[in-house]
């Protein structure tokens, strides 16, 4: 009788273990995919924040370029080499020793 109880308990334990293994096989890939998507979502949120800051800085620069004549002059001089009437442009050539 006692051996029959042990056999029943052992059989139930085996079924329980088998059920756990089957559940792990079914749900573990989905859980891994969920974690991967969470990581990707976190990375995208950080990228969005970074791009929002960069966008704000570019908006400020655009507004300044549109409204500030001194900034416009500075940009024209630096980026396009524009000089005022009567100014003599000087180009500095660096040698290899420097």
Q: What is the pLDDT of residue 54?
A: 98
Q: What is the pLDDT of residue 60?
A: 95
In this prediction, the residues of the chain whose per-residue pLDDT falls under 70 are 98
Q: What is the pLDDT of residue 98?
A: 56
Q: What is the pLDDT of residue 38?
A: 96
Q: What is the pLDDT of residue 40?
A: 97
pLDDT tens profile 48-72 = 999 999 999 999 999 999 999 999 8
Q: Is 75 exposed, middle or buried (0-12, 13-18, 19+ CB in 10 A)?
A: middle
Helix (H) or strand (E) holding 46: helix 2-67
């Amino acid at each position: 009788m006692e051996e029959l109880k042990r056999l029943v308990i052992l059989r139930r334990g085996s079924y329980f273990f088998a059920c756990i293994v089957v559940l792990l096989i079914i749900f573990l890939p989905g859980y891994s995919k969920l974690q991967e998507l969470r990581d990707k979502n976190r990375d995208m949120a950080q990228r969005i924040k970074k791009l929002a800051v960069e966008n704000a800085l570019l908006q400020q620069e655009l507004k300044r370029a549109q409204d500030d004549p001194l900034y416009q002059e500075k940009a024209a001089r630096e980026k396009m080499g524009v000089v005022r009437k009567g100014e003599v442009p000087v180009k500095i050539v660096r040698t290899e020793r420097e």
